[in-house]
Amino acid sequence: MKRNPFEVPLPPFYKDDRAECHRVSDPDVFFPPSYREGTAALDAARKVCEGCVLIVECGRWAVFTGEPEGVWGALTPKQRREFRRQLGLADAGTS
């Protein structure tokens, strides 16, 4: 297994048998080179999350912890920052 390029801890759900990412051989899929909408790498990450029964819990975790990198719960860092802004939480990153 490769290390993700940002040395970001994988979400706590990663080791959960129900998580789709538990079955992904390369966790780098969650760290696409660009978070730009419509890119193949971002779509690939979202496709994994969209088939996951933990998508809501994972997205909530990523929003509330302010995780600045990675695609968690099918959400990009930009989407999570927008949720945090709407919830009145401090911004935790700039990606």
Q: Which residues bind ligand SF4 (CB under 6 A)?
A: 11, 13, 19-21, 30, 48-49, 52, 54-55, 58, 72-73
20/60 Cα distance (integer angstroms): 16
Nearer to ligand SF4 among residue 14 and residue 88 (C-beta): 14
Min separation Cβ 15 and ligand SF4, Å: 10
Nearer to ligand SF4 among residue 73 and residue 77 (C-beta): 73
Min separation Cβ 85 and ligand SF4, Å: 22
Which residues are CB-contacts of 36 (< 8 A; sequence separation ≥ 6)? Answer: 42
Where residue 69 falls (left for φ over 0; alpha for ψ -120 to 50; beta otherwise) is beta
Min separation Cβ 69 and ligand SF4, Å: 12
Backbone phi and psi for residue 47, each to the nearest 5 degrees, phi listed first = -60, -40
